Amino acid sequence: MIEVKNISKSFDGKTILHSVSAQFKDGLTNLIIGQSGSGKTVLMKSLVGLHTPDQGEILYDGRDLLKMNNSQKKELRKEIGMLFQGSALFDSETVLGNVMFPLKMFSDMSYEEQLERAHFCIKRVNLVGADDKYPSEISGGMQKRVAIARAIALNPKYLFCDEPNSGLDPKTSILIDELLVDITHEYGITTVINTHDMNSVLGIGENIVFLNKGHLAWTGNKDQVYDSDNETLNDFVFANDLFKKVKKYVNLTNDK
């Protein structure tokens, strides 16, 4: 479990995160939701140590990230996988090279074992026949899959995904979401996902943290979203007509 206590972060005097506290649970898909610019990425990058918060605690199963020395951080990072918004694949490496990269750098495996593990991960994300392609030669959805394969190559305990389905069509988005859920459950990973996509919120939100302008505004799960009377949350989640109708319908059937 990852526990965040009273995290604040400001850039150039402008406060982005206002004393946010949250818990991200093992084996679940934990969602950080909120409008664009609400500070989701900043929160996630603080969680993994790419930003240093001004105050607060970040506990990885009790270990405080902010009090770690460099070698402890390095150890922790081996337990972390991350999927970036733009996939962040290495341009100069092939798909296989990208997935093998963390294995090459951080495992004691022989080359054959690395290759086997990389192929396993690539297969796990349902990507075949693209081993020798370069990131620029494959579609956005495939890039995400490669990035997921790379992130899980070292068997992480914690997986972070920054807007995993931004820039993807709805169908591919759902496939990626499902893949993330499956992987989370299969390996008992603590998965944290940033999203502003309502399909994801209502589809895979097993534990949701709602950020509004850098403030923690609501926590709960996807079923509780429907009967929440938190106005900012409703405004955000049920912004479009379809979702408004869905909510009405769900509430009607629940009342009966």
Contact 190, 201 (CB under 8 A): no
- Decide: is 13 part of the binding site for ligand ADP (CB under 6 A): no
HSE-CB of 56 using CA atoms within 13 angstroms: 24
* Max CA pair span of the chain: 61
- Decide: is 88 part of the binding site for another protein (CB under 8 A): yes
- Decide: is 109 part of the binding site for another protein (CB under 8 A): no
Span of 42-50, 186-194, 209-217, 247-255 interacting with another protein by CB under 8 A: 42-50
Rg (CA), the chain: 19
- Decide: is 22 part of the binding site for ligand ADP (CB under 6 A): no
Nearer to Mg ion, 24 or 84 (CB): 84
List 33, 40, 157, 207, residue binding ligand ADP (CB under 6 A)? 40
Cα–Cα distance for residue pair 78/155, rounded to 1 Å: 9
- Decide: is 231 part of the binding site for ligand ADP (CB under 6 A): no
Span of 34-42, 152-160, 173-181, 245-253 interacting with Mg ion by CB under 5 A: 34-42
The option from Mg ion, another protein, ligand ADP, none interacting with 38 (CB < 5 to 8 A, set by class) reads ligand ADP
Nearer to another protein, 59 or 88 (CB): 88
Nearer to ligand ADP, 37 or 188 (CB): 37
The option from another protein, ligand ADP, Mg ion, none interacting with 50 (CB < 5 to 8 A, set by class) reads another protein
- Decide: is 41 part of the binding site for ligand ADP (CB under 6 A): yes
94-97 long-range contacts (CB < 8 A, ≥24 apart) are 94/131, 94/132, 94/133, 94/134, 95/122, 95/127, 95/130, 95/131, 95/132, 95/133, 95/134, 95/135, 95/138, 95/146, 96/122, 96/131, 96/132
Binding site for ligand ADP (CB under 6 A): 11, 16, 34, 36-42
